[in-house]
């Protein structure tokens, strides 16, 4: 089983669990500047605000994307 990958902008960290991903495309369609299917690394967390990213992650049907707030 592959380890989750993490991407941070300093305020939040996005966690991606590849083995859970259903490739629904919700993330890519919702925030294409952050979730870029054909680029590596495919998540560029600095391309949108944390609140906008959190709202998009909540739309992930598989639970492959999650997030946590970093301690300040």
The CATH number given to whatever domain includes residue 14 is 3.30.70.20
How many distinct structural domains can be found in the chain?
Answer: 1
Enter the pTM of the model: 0.92
pLDDT score, position 2: 81
The mean pLDDT of the chain is: 95
- pLDDT band of 72, cuts 50, 70, 90: confident
| In the predicted structure, residue 1 carries a pLDDT above the cut 80 | no
Mean pLDDT of 3-11: 96
Q: Residue 32 and residue 48: Cα distance in Å, rounded? A: 10
Q: Residue 39 has which token pair?
A: 């680029």
Q: Residue 22 has which token pair?
A: 């259903």
pLDDT score, position 12: 97
SS3 32: coil
- pLDDT band of 49, cuts 50, 70, 90: very high
In which domain, by residue range, is 55 found?
Answer: 5-69
């Amino acid at each position: 089983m592959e380890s989750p990958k993490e991407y941070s902008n300093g305020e939040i960290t996005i966690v991606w669990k590849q083995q859970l991903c259903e490739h629904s495309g919700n993330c890519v369609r919702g925030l294409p500047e952050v979730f870029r299917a054909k680029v590596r690394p495919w998540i560029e967390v600095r391309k949108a605000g944390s609140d906008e990213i959190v709202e998009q992650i909540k739309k992930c049907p598989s639970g492959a994307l999650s997030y946590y707030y970093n301690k300040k």
